[in-house]
Amino acid sequence: MAQEEIGYRIDLKKLDAFFAEKTKSAKCPFCEKDEWTLPTAGSVSINALPWGKADGNMYMVGLPVLTMICTTCFFVRMMAIPDPALRASLAEVPDAE
């Protein structure tokens, strides 16, 4: 029997609770609206930002982030995923084949 693959989806209520606890405002810093969209509809494709040393040498892995886009001005907001509270906003779900 094959092991089922696990994917992730965003629990929007948990994510809203995380933002309310950790940030002063959910408003966009440019247009001050508070409507955000995720670039992946219904699932999470965790993005990775390259990072490395000040001398320009880059590590082979990236920093995992959740990307959100303001629906008014298209400002891109990113929150690091490693934080246990933010990771808890992601619900595990079986991957559909």
- What confidence tier does 1 reach under pLDDT thresholds 50, 70, 90? very low
- Entry pTM: 0.65
Residue 56 lies in a domain: no
Q: Per the structure, how many domains does the chain have?
A: 1
Residue 11 lies in a domain: yes
Residue 96 lies in a domain: no
Comparison of pLDDT for 88 and 59, the residue scoring more? 88
Residue 41 lies in a domain: yes
What percentage of the chain has pLDDT greater than the value 90?
A: 19
Domain coverage including residue 73: 6-51+62-91
Q: Which residue in this structure is represented by tokens 């989806």? A: 9
Q: How far apart are CA 26 and CA 4, in angstroms?
A: 36
DSSP 19-57: HHHH-S--S-TTT----EE-SSSSS---EEEEEE-TTSP
Asked if 69 contacts 39 with a C-beta cutoff of 8 angstroms, the reply is: yes
Residue 78 lies in a domain: yes
Q: pLDDT, tens digit, for every residue of 61-70?
A: 667 778 889 9
pLDDT at residue number 70 = 95
Comparison of pLDDT for 6 and 24, the residue scoring more? 24
